[in-house]
Amino acid sequence: MAETLDIHPASPEERLQCYENVYEFWPMAPSLEEHLRLRLTSPKHQRAHWYAGCLGGRVVASLGCFPLNYYLDGREVEGFSIGSVHTRPEYRRRGFAAEVMDWAERDRVKQGDRLSSLFSDIDPDYYGKQGYLRCPSWKAWAAADPASLGTGELSWDLQPFPASRALPELQEIYRAYHGSYPLAVARPLGYWKYTLLKQPRDEFYWLKDPESQTQGYVRVTEMEGAWLISDFAVRRERSDSLRLLFRLVIDLAGRKGKTGVGGWLPDEPAIRSLFDLQPRTQSVTMVKSLDAGLKIEEGHLETADRFCKIDHV
């Protein structure tokens, strides 16, 4: 007789089992004890809705639904992003993860969510069978270059600033850029505050034009002697502004002794002129409409390559 999963929102005790189960793939520390402590105190994991599929009172499959809103054709749509999809080794290949995902999606729809995303570390076809659509997903890399800048570039500047004191301006610049595309992550003020808690050591820089007007920003994360671009946005004409922003980032990284600059960046000519851009084979962006009246079309998928690394769950 086929075993029937008991699927439901995870209790605090079951959430701990979820954290313990995923240790084999996503350890947050060398020891299980420290991994559990970090998960229990992590802002990212504490804000998620966790779902458990149980057999005999034991969590055998689980996932987290991380609240995440979206811009879709200029409208803000409530949703979430799925992460930490896991099945215990002895219960794999029985379709349990897909069952938990389906149950969780239907439960989130009852709460008003209409759009879901995930970042696939496995063959995207697995999630494609469950209705998720693959989006272009790129990773960029450039060696840090402290070479002399041109005259036009020298008239622009990157200026460090404390993000916690500039959230309204960050929010406005982000929306003006990303929100103008058919599909993008939306960031209410509360979500902005969460991203600062998520990665508190990140550095922020304003992009300043020759008149000292703010024309964009970039957020970078230190990683093994290099800079990871976690977030960015620009105000003005996009191609020139993007080229200036990232040219200055590469130069500044070189002057600070970094080995290089990388991250999730969109496929734009200005970006390809500065970075080696390759398709991601990990963290492939995928989206799914949970509302029959909410259509995801090719134009939406094409612009999802602007999803930023800071929004990864």
User: What is the structure's pLDDT at 153?
Assistant: 72
Q: In which element (H, E) is residue 100 found?
A: helix 96-110
Q: What share of the chain has pLDDT > 70, as a percent?
A: 97
Q: What is the spatial distance between Cα 130 and Cα 19, in angstroms, rounded to a whole number?
A: 24
Predicted confidence (pLDDT) at residue 148 exceeds the cutoff of 90: no
- Say what the pLDDT of residue 146 is: 72
Cα separations in angstroms, 249 against 6, 98, 117, 227, 300: 50, 42, 29, 9, 28
Q: Would you state the structure tokens that stand for residue 32, as one six-digit string? A: 């299980």
Distance CA 17, CA 111 (A): 25
Residue 240 has pLDDT above 90, yes or no: no
Phi and psi angles of residue 305, each rounded to the nearest 5 degrees, phi first: -70, 0
Average pLDDT over residues 201-226: 96
With a CB cutoff of 8 Å and minimum separation 6, the contacts of 1 are: none
CA distance 102 to 291: 14
Residue 58: is its pLDDT beyond 90? yes
Contact, 184 vs 303, CB < 8 A? yes
What is each CA distance from 110 to 19, 55, 70, 105, 291, in whole angstroms?
25, 25, 18, 9, 11
Going by C-beta distance under 8 Å and a sequence separation of 6 or more, which residues neighbour residue 144? 226, 227, 250, 253, 254, 256, 257, 258, 259, 260, 261
pLDDT at residue 155, as a whole number: 87
Residue 147 scores a pLDDT above 70:
no
The residue-averaged pLDDT of 72-100 equals: 97
> How many residues are there in the chain?
313
Which pLDDT score, from 0 to 100, does residue 152 have?
63
Q: Which of 67, 54, 29 is nearest to 190 (CA)?
A: 67
Work out the mean pLDDT of the chain and round it to a whole number.
95
Judging by beta carbons within 10 Å of its beta carbon (0-12, 13-18, 19+), is residue 148 exposed, middle or buried?
Answer: exposed
**pLDDT reported for residue 150:** 60
pLDDT above 90 for 236: no
Sign of CA pseudo-dihedral 72, 75, 80, 81: positive
For residue range 167-196, what is the model confidence (pLDDT) as tens digits? 999 999 999 999 999 999 999 999 999 999
What would the pLDDT profile of 267-296 be if each residue is shown by its tens digit? 999 999 999 999 999 999 999 999 999 999
Q: Which helix (H) or strand (E) holds 127?
A: helix 124-128
CA proximity to 48, closest of 2, 8, 15, 20: 15
Is 129 exposed, middle or buried (CB count within 10 Å of its CB: 0-12, 13-18, 19+)? exposed
Which of the listed ranges 152-156, 218-222, 233-237 does the model predict with the highest average pLDDT?
Answer: 218-222
Cβ atoms of 223 and 213 within 8 Å: the answer is: no
Q: Phi/psi zone of residue 56: left (φ > 0), alpha (ψ -120 to 50 degrees), beta?
A: left
Give yes or no for residue 151 having a pLDDT over 60: no
The 10s digit of each residue's pLDDT in 16-26 is 999 999 999 99
